[in-house]
Amino acid sequence: MAPASTLLRAAAPAPHAHTSFPSHHTPTSSSNRTTITNTNPSANSTSSTPLHRIQTIAKHMALPQTTSFPAEVVPQAPEDPLFGLARAFKADPSPQKVDLGIGAYRDENAKPWVLPVVKKADEIIRNDPEANHEYLPIAGLASLTSKAAELVVGASAPAIAEGRVASIQTISGTGACHLGGLFLSRFYNPYGDASKKPTVYLSNPTWANHNQIFSNVGLPIAQYPYFDQKTKGLDIDGMKKALSDAPERSIILLHACAHNPTGVDPTLAQWREIAEIMAAKGHFPFFDTAYQGFASGDLDRDASAIRLFVELGFELVVAQSFAKNFGLYGQRAGCFHFISAPSPDAASITTRVASQLTLLQRSEISNPPIYGAKVASIVLNDPALFAEWKENLRTMSGRIIDMRKALRAKLEELGTPGPWNHITDQIGMFSFTGLNEKQVAKLREEFHIYMTKNGRISMAGLNTKNVEYVARAVDKVVREVQ
């Protein structure tokens, strides 16, 4: 007998028997209805039951067991490296294991930390008799997006007062990058030829997800030099040359602060040099800000690059995440901002862009999620809670800075072949250690220390209980493995 799935398919009409006018659309009128009487005395026998007839037909109509998605069309995708690393760490039974891979804050006991101010916002939501789970508007929670824009450009910025900022709530920073890429792919046509898409230039290295986010919306990608392997700092000359050589009006993806994965940021003077080249070439800035306040502990300092470009009159976009600085990783709260350049038509341009962003959002997610947005909104709109949030940010950034100092000090005390000053020169959650792939593998195999293959470590995974263990392991591996 054919498989059950085949029987179900066989029960449907054959393709040539399909009609556009089935009976429920064109019922027969009672005056013209013809009654057919079956006079066969064996009509009620077992051999004539509907199931028997279907089984008989199925024997003659069995379709081949095939798929429209063979392996050469849909190959097995590789596991995401970061989530694969997390899975391997979780499965490791060693009591000494250390997770330096995950991009999430951990406290002194290597546990997730719910910010105290977030707990207070949670309590406010739970005790609100008007709280509900209704849909948000397509553009999101207005009390969040308005304050999020102020956080990025400054509450007193002319761009806010002049109506030059369009903001829309997104699925964290990833969703903001995607929405921005989708908008630019659809509407940014700098060469007057819709078939010629502008290239998005990404730093080398960058957050791995940037590559597929922009590729998936049909934008070609290229790289500009960023990390200097010798100094473990910024390759400012290589970066400037690449931006100068890039085709005019290219899209340049810039990390606003706490560059992921290197932890290397340009100085404000270097940002001015970058801005000067981009203005001369007519490049379009696309800022990704995932660590505002988390990097230095100062919200304004961490927004200084974006604010500089806005003050210089650039038209630009910003993808903003509240995952790291609020600890709202799983709540997926973020915003996308379009900021128009100063002009008589700026407000009109911003309104039109906002309308198209809303249209794109409608077909993508319809409405953004509400809970994380409410948490962030409550904090951003309450002066006392906002002040407490800034203190929470200083707690997180301060602990990470302390761990940078401790790791560097221990490595230098051990005389580990270095130098190691880049550990404290870099900023934010991540550090590019300079360890190579073989050394990373050895650390995992022998010491159960987990980090990405390129030697990037999450400083949040270090604490006073494991930093010496990690330093001694690195010292041993650096001496033994080249």
Contact status, residue 106 vs residue 112, Cβ threshold 8 Å: yes
Residue 449 reports pLDDT greater than 90: yes
Copy the structure tokens of residue 308.
């500089």
pLDDT score of 19: 34
pLDDT score of 417: 95
Distance CA 8, CA 140 (A): 44
pLDDT score of 64: 64
- The CATH class of 134-380 is alpha beta
Copy the structure tokens of residue 412.
């230098």
Copy the structure tokens of residue 443.
């650390």
pLDDT score of 152: 98
Among 324, 374, 410, 442, the active-site one is 324
Among 113, 207, 271, 420, the active-site one is 207
- Within the chain, all domains assigned CATH 3.90.1150.10 are found at 79-111+385-478
Residue range 193-213: mean pLDDT, rounded: 94
pTM: 0.84
User: What is the CB-side half-sphere exposure of residue 364 using CA atoms within 13 A?
Assistant: 22
pLDDT grade for 440, boundaries at 50, 70 and 90: very high
What sign results for the dihedral spanned by CA atoms 467, 468, 470, 475?
positive
pLDDT grade for 50, boundaries at 50, 70 and 90: confident
Among 288, 389, 410, 475, the active-site one is 288
pLDDT score of 47: 57
pLDDT score of 23: 42
288 is catalytic: yes
Residue range 38-61: mean pLDDT, rounded: 64
- Within the chain, all domains assigned CATH 3.40.640.10 are found at 134-380
324 is catalytic: yes
pLDDT > 70: percent of the chain = 89
- The CATH class of 79-111+385-478 is alpha beta
The angle, 0 to 180 degrees and rounded to 10, between the axes of the packed helices 304-311 and 142-153 is: 80
pLDDT > 90: percent of the chain = 81
What is the per-residue pLDDT across 381-432, written as a single tens digit (0 to 9) for each? 999 999 999 999 999 999 999 999 999 999 999 999 989 999 999 999 999 9
pLDDT score of 63: 64
Residue 62 reports pLDDT greater than 90: no
Contact status, residue 237 vs residue 271, Cβ threshold 8 Å: no
Residue 81 reports pLDDT greater than 90: no
